[in-house]
Amino acid sequence: MNYRLPAAGAAVVFALCAAAPLAAQDKAAKPQIAPRPLRAPDGHPNLDGIWAFAIDLPPAALKKQTASGVAVERVDQSSRQDATNVPGALPSTPAPAYKPEFQAKVKYLFDHESKEDPVFYCGKPGVPRIGSPRRIVQLPGEMIFLYEDISGDPWRIIPTDGRPHLADASPSAYGDSVGHWEGDKLVVDVTNFAEDGWFGEGGYFHSDAMRVTERFWRVGQNLAYQFTVEDPKVLAAPWTAPPRLVKPSNEPLEESPKCVEADGKLLLNSDHHGQR
């Protein structure tokens, strides 16, 4: 095996500087997204359509070097980031508050995230961790949510015609959802969760009593998304997370490749992903 020194840093920085104009040209060439009407034919807010990918991805950019030049592409992760000053958003806090007797457990899970988080091992993120849907199909009396996720490509069918929760559904990662309109917001009430998941990366475990309320509304051409988690067994109070703004997209959905986790046995410590 023959190792060698990597390219000099200064040369790479120079290459990146040179790459910027090309990257800008590439972005300018992407097809425009047609404006979407704010209202559906039935008068409710129009949430229908493809929305930006909202699953967390690595923050790196990609430098492509070819004979014709250098370009840098980066991933727009704005749909996964907390937004501020979102009209219609509820007051929020950055993190949930656990009851005193569970604070040691949530800290342990956070500190050992690499080994303890089921999502790291191809587990389903569930609601609300999966975030906003990639595609919403808005029908009279029903909303269909489609997602792309490394664990598979889940879907949810959410009645909005007044039907109650299913009486005999088994607990699941995405729970049982029913929706209704409150003014210009779609409010989705989700119950009946399997209790082996986390509702956030910070070791946010929950019980079978978790209830999630998701809210979706339009802010101009964007989709606003915010959720509240209630779990009277483990949380000291309901937690309303900061809102997110999701851009419209014209990128078609694709089937996610199968998930084959092979890293777990190679982890030599319990660093969570924020540590280095």
Partner 1 sequence: MQTRTSLASALVSLLAIAAAAWAHHSPSAEFDMAKRVSLTGTLTKIDWVNPHIVAFLEAKGADGATENWRMESNPPAWFRRVGVSRNDLAKGIGQTVTVEGNRAKDGNLYMYMLKITFADGSSLELVNNAVTEASTQ
As a whole number of angstroms, the distance between CA 207 and CA 194 comes to 8
- Does 3 bind partner 1 (CB under 8 A)? Our answer is yes
Per CB under 8 A, contacts with partner 1 among 8-37 are: 9, 12-13, 16-17, 19-20, 23-24, 26
Considering the complex, state which of residue 185 and residue 206 has its C-beta at the smaller distance from partner 1: 206
As a whole number of angstroms, the distance between CA 50 and CA 253 comes to 8
As a whole number of angstroms, the distance between CA 232 and CA 206 comes to 10
Considering the complex, state which of residue 2 and residue 170 has its C-beta at the smaller distance from partner 1: 2
As a whole number of angstroms, the distance between CA 105 and CA 273 comes to 18
Per CB under 8 A, contacts with partner 1 among 38-67 are: 53, 55-67
Considering only 122, 144, 187, 236, the residue that binds partner 1 (CB under 8 A) is: 122
Q: Which of 177, 235, 201 shows the shortest CA–CA distance to 123?
A: 201
As a whole number of angstroms, the distance between CA 156 and CA 158 comes to 6
As a whole number of angstroms, the distance between CA 79 and CA 243 comes to 10
Considering the complex, state which of residue 142 and residue 153 has its C-beta at the smaller distance from partner 1: 153
Among the residue ranges 112-120, 136-144, 166-174, 178-186, the one whose residues contact partner 1 (CB under 8 A): 112-120
Distance, C-alpha 101 to centroid of its chain? 29
The site for partner 1 (CB under 8 A) is made up of 1-6, 9, 12-13, 16-17, 19-20, 23-24, 26, 53, 55-67, 72-76, 113-115, 119-120, 122, 148, 150-151, 201, 254, 256-264, 266-276
